Amino acid sequence: MARPKTSNYNSKSNFRYNPERGRPKIHQRGPEIQAFGTIAKLPIALGEKVCQASVERLNQILADTMTLRDLYKKHHWQNAGPTFYQLHLLFDKHYEEQNDLVDTIAERIQTLGGISIAMAPDVAESTIIPRPPKGREETPVQISRLLQAHEFVLKEAHAMARQAAEVGDDGTNDMLVSDLIRTNEKQVWFLSEHLVDVPLVRAD
Ligand SMILES: [Fe+2]
C-alpha cells in the first residue's frame, strides 16, 4: 500500500509548537470601538441625520419597553389572590412578548448604525415609566401599573412612527406599527378585561 503523503500540518519540522496559543487570553481591556450616541453608518440608503434621530427615539422606547418587560416579571412573581395561577401565566406570556420586542428594537438601533442601551442603570436613567415600590401590591394595582406603562409606550410609539414615516425611515415605522403597537394594544386588551367588575358565579 502506498504511504500517505505527509501534510504540512503533521510535519513537526515545519511548525514550532507554541504552548501559549492554546491558552485563553483573559483580562483584556481596550478602547471602545464606537462611542454611545454616534452613528457608524451602514449602506441602507438612509441619511446619517435620519439614522441619528431614529436611534435617539428608539433608545427611549427601548428603555421604556425594558422597564415594562421587567414590571411583568415582578408581577409574575409577586401576584396574589384567587386569580394567581392565570395571572402568573399571563404576566409571563406578556413578559416573553415584551422581551422579543426589546430585541427587535435594539437590533433596529444597531441596523441604523447606532448603539442600543443595554444595562439596567442606563435603563433606569432613561425610562419615563414611574418606578414601582419594591414591595408587593394588590392585583388591581399591579394591572393598573401595567396599563399605565403600556400607555406611555404606545403614546411615544405612535408619535415616533409618524416621525419615522415623515423622514423616510420606513423600516422603523413598520417595526413600530406592526410589532410594537400591535403587541402592546393586544396586551392592554387582555389586562383591561381583568378590571371589569362582573360577577364570577351568580349573575346580578
Ligand atoms: Fe416563572
How many Å lie between the centroid of ligand 1 and the Cα of residue 18?
Answer: 48
- The rounded Å distance from CA 110 to ligand 1 centre is 30
| Ligand 1 centre distance from Cα of residue 91 (Å) | 9
Are 126 and 117 in contact by the 8 Å Cβ rule? The answer is yes
* Tens of pLDDT, residues 153-203: 999 999 999 999 999 999 999 999 999 999 999 999 999 999 999 998 999
Quote the pLDDT of residue 7.
47
Mean pLDDT calculated for residue range 37-56 = 97
- Residue from 101, 112, 118 nearest 180 by CA: 101
Q: Which of 73, 87, 65, 95 is nearest to 191 (CA)?
A: 87
Contacts 24+ apart (CB under 8 A), 74-77: 74/132, 75/142, 75/145, 75/146
pTM: 0.90
- d(CA 174, ligand 1 centre) in Å: 32
Compute, in angstroms, the gap from residue 145 CA to the centroid of ligand 1. Answer: 20
DSSP string, 2-65: PPPPPPGGG-TTTS---GGGGS---S-----SS-TT-----SSS--HHHHHHHHHHHHHHHHHH
pLDDT digits 0-9 by tens, 102-160? 999 999 999 999 999 999 999 999 999 999 999 999 999 999 999 999 999 999 999 99
Interval between CA 107 and ligand 1 midpoint (Å): 26
Question: What distance in angstroms lies between residue 171's CA and the mean position of ligand 1's atoms?
Answer: 34
